Amino acid sequence: MMETLLKYSETLFSIPPNKNLLLSVVIPVKDEADHIEKTLDALRLQIDLLDNPIDSTIYEVLVLVNNCSDDSFEICTKYKMRHPSFQLHVECVTFLPPNAHVGAARRILMDAAYNRLMSIRGERGIIVSTDGDSEVDSKWVIHMIDEFSKGAEVVGGRILPQNTPVSAKIHHLRDVTYRLFVTRLESIIDPCPFNPWPRHFQCYGPSLAVSCECYERAGRIPPIPYLEDEEFRKALKRVDAKIRHSPKVKVFTSSRIVGRVAFGFSVQLGKWEMMSSNGEKQEVESVPNHIFRLTLKNKLRKIWQGTGPVNFDSPVIQQLADDLKIDYNELHKKITLNQYFESVWEWVDERISRQDLLRHSKQPIDEAIQSFRSYFKELPLHN
């Protein structure tokens, strides 16, 4: 399977990149005839912070039309002819099983972008993913470049669904509010210097940017049938990628109920519609559980950042091992042998769940939101 994907990424998009290229935007497209022209318009009409058109040679768009039954490919090729100065490159393929899925398409695209950027920009090149049913904000590119100039290795954009079905809207709004409150809590208890508040919580296919160096370090996006972007996000975390969840980088995406994969936002919308019909409420991790996890994570981070031979027998590590019900030597080994903090934390967090260290059960999402509001209200004003 990997040999087939490698062949595609090395042979498609053969036109050499522009020497000014900074970032390469990739779009996997399957049956997006109703959306793709708006997607391309939004990418072509990018402006800078002064509302002037940006230099069209600093970015390109790679579209891989795959396994289509509509005229998406024809729409894209005609669009390219109408706008010759727009750095648009379009290819069309038909995948056979087991490669006939979005994960394979996105992997081929991101690998192709990687190869093109490495030849011009090297490890500082920026690979950017979006989708064929999404419209990026008019300053999407310039804000993304700005975040990378500040030291980000990954930039997740804010994903804003359009025309969310009425029956799913309340559940979606609660879910977004809850997740924003979780990330605000993280910024307070376990702050991150390269991802300060305000920030959001998303780093997914419709708006995900990664440097070439970090793409390779994380093992590249996995060519799996669905949730390839989520698995890639986890891989980026495991190698301590500097991930910035930028509120300025925004994309507007469709809210279709009938999705293209077995899991994803469309499936979640369908579940929320069903919950509305049944009068059900979403159950989420309780606020005390989040506080417990994040407090432990911050304690472990401080140990990690100060770890040296003199600290290996520290009572602080022993106390943490006792709190986690983990053997001291096992924890010591993880801390000293792992190159990346988030990899250690993932291992610890799994044991927190496995050993039932969480003292509070899940709670209805509206109650959790109220608990968060009460918690934030009690904080000093500077938080």
Residue 293: what pLDDT?
A: 92
Q: Please give the average per-residue pLDDT across 71-78, as a whole number.
A: 98
Q: pLDDT value at position 320?
A: 82
Q: How many CB atoms are located within 10 Å of the residue 167 CB?
A: 15
pLDDT category at 274 given cuts 50, 70, 90 is confident
Average pLDDT over residues 35-56: 98
pTM: 0.93
pLDDT of residue 258: 52
pLDDT recorded at residue 286: 93
**pLDDT over 70 (residue 233):** yes
Output the pLDDT for position 265: 65
List the single range of 107-116, 282-291, 351-360 with lowest mean pLDDT. 351-360
pLDDT of the residue at 308: 46
Instruction: Please give the average per-residue pLDDT across 293-301, as a whole number.
Output: 92
Per-residue pLDDT, averaged over 146-169, amounts to 92
Pair of tokens at residue 289: 């559980």
Instruction: Kindly tell me if the per-residue pLDDT of 313 is higher than 80.
Output: no
pLDDT of residue 131 exceeding 90: yes
The stretch 315-319 carries a mean pLDDT of: 80
Per the model's pLDDT, the better-predicted residue between 204 and 321 turns out to be 204
**Confidence at 302, pLDDT banded by 50, 70, 90:** confident
Highest mean pLDDT, choosing among 248-252, 283-287, 348-352 = 248-252
pLDDT of residue 311: 56
Cβ–Cβ under 8 Å, residues 171 and 279: no
| CA 335 centroid distance within chain | 27
Mean of the per-residue pLDDT values of the chain? 91
Q: For the chain, what percent of residues have pLDDT higher than 90?
A: 70
Q: How confident is the model at residue 310 (pLDDT cuts 50, 70, 90)?
A: very low
pLDDT for 315: 80
pLDDT number for residue 62: 99
Mean pLDDT along residues 50-69: 98
Contact 95, 64 (CB under 8 A): no
- The pLDDT of residue 149 is 98
Supply the CATH classification number for the domain 2-283.
3.90.550.10
Q: Is the per-residue pLDDT at 280 higher than 90?
A: no
Provide mean pLDDT across the span 257-284.
Answer: 70
Q: Using H for helix, E for strand and C for coil, what is the string for the chain?
A: CHHHHHHHHHHCCCCCCCCCCCEEEEEEECCCCCCHHHHHHHHHCCECCCCCECCCCCEEEEEEEECCCCCHHHHHHHHHHHCCCCCEEEEEECCCCCCCCHHHHHHHHHHHHHHHHHHHCHHHCEEEECCCCEEECCCHHHHHHHHHHCCCCEEEEEEEECCCCHHHHHHHHHHHHHHHHHHHHHHHHCCCCCCCCCCCCCCCHHHEEEEHHHHHHCCCCCCCCCCHHHHHHHHHHHCCCCEEEEEEEEEEECCCCCCCCCCCHHHHHHHHHHHHHHCCCCEECCHHHHHHHHHHHHHHHHHHHHCCHHHCCCHHHHHHHHHHCCCHHHHHHHHHHCCCHHHHHHHHHHHHHHCCCCCCCCEEHHHHHHHHHHHHHCCCCCC
Least confident of 72-76, 192-196, 207-211, 298-302: 298-302
| Residue 71 or residue 99, greater confidence | 71
Best-predicted range by mean pLDDT (154-168, 222-236, 263-277, 310-324): 222-236
Averaged pLDDT, 110-120 = 98
Q: Where in the chain is the domain with CATH 3.90.550.10?
A: 2-283
**What confidence tens digit (pLDDT) does each residue in 77-108 have?**
999 999 999 999 999 999 998 888 999 999 99
